[in-house]
Amino acid sequence: MAVEAVIFDLDGTLLDTSEGIFKTANTVIRMMGGKECHDLKRFSLFVGPPLHIGFEKVFGLAGEKNREAVVTYKKLYKDIGINRYRYYPGLVDTVKNMKEKGLKLGVATLKNESAAEMMISSSLFNGLFDVIRGSDEAETLTKAMIIKKVCSFLSVPFSKSVLVGDSESDERGAMEAGVQFIPVGWGFGFSDRDKNDGSFLSKPCQLYDRIICKES
């Protein structure tokens, strides 16, 4: 089936944003008098899902404490976390090649939309995406809702769109939105067992060939 639009998850798929996320979250916890987390495997649960889920899963925060942590995180992230990211080797060139091929490109992330726009505009991906959509301030949007917003903006049918993601929540969002899905193994969301599945891409350079094959 032809692919007209390629939609990327952000955290753990398009960019390795873990350093900024971990630093900001630990700063928040320290300010609240809690115990920081330095277990990278445990902290990986923080990358991808909405903030309130991350604070619940990693730090056990609930109720008012959870809401306080989310508000503080959003205030701090743009100052101490947003510019702390790394590129996955070969992915910038891959995205450029897709754009030159004429594919429509979008980003669908559960990261706050303004933060996502700021991050991408400061990176080597600046100007490559037709649309960037993320979470609202109240975190009421699901991944599927955000994917659908991207497809609507691009005027591309769900059936001719594909989401590239690194987690089960990405896969679930793609299924609920009715778009195709390509799982990648360079992020944080899938287990090592999952990554042994032959459908996974282990390197960004493989992505272009997979998309072009889907077109043919």
* Secondary structure (3-state) at 208: helix
pLDDT of residue 191 exceeding 80, the answer is no
pLDDT at residue number 154 = 98
Give the domain 5-16+86-215 fold: Rossmann fold (3.40.50)
Give the model's pLDDT for residue 193.
54
Predicted TM-score of the model (pTM) = 0.91
Residue 68 has pLDDT above 70, yes or no: yes
Work out the mean pLDDT of the chain and round it to a whole number: 92
Query: How much is the pLDDT for 49?
Result: 81
The strands making up 5-8's β-sheet, listed across from edge to edge, are 131-135, 104-112, 5-8, 161-165, 180-183
pLDDT band at 160 (very low <50, low <70, confident <90, very high): very high
What pLDDT score was predicted for residue 98?
95
Query: What pLDDT band is residue 187 in, cutting at 50, 70 and 90?
Result: confident
Task: Report the CATH fold assignment for 18-80.
Answer: DNA polymerase; domain 1 (1.10.150)
Look at strands 15-16 and 86-87 and give their pairing: antiparallel
Instruction: Say whether pLDDT at 56 is over 90.
Output: yes
With a cut of 80, say whether residue 192 has pLDDT above it.
no
Where does CATH 3.40.50.1000 sit in the chain? 5-16+86-215
**Residues contacting residue 110 through CB under 8 Å, at least 6 positions apart:** 11, 48, 49, 50, 134, 135, 139, 141, 143, 146, 169
Residues of the chain with CATH 1.10.150.240: 18-80
Average pLDDT over residues 104-114: 95
* Mean pLDDT confidence for 180-206: 80
Average pLDDT rounded to a whole number, residues 71-82: 94
User: How many angstroms separate the CA atoms of 79 and 64, rounded?
Assistant: 24
* pLDDT the model gives residue 168: 87
Answer yes or no: is pLDDT of 215 > 60: no
d(CA 93, CA 24): 29
CB-based burial, 101-139: b 16+ in 10 Å, e otherwise:
eebbbbbbbbbbbebbbbbbeeeebeeebebbbbbeeeb
Predicted local distance difference test score (pLDDT) of residue 50? 86
216 versus 199: the higher-pLDDT residue is 199
Specify the pLDDT at position 207: 92
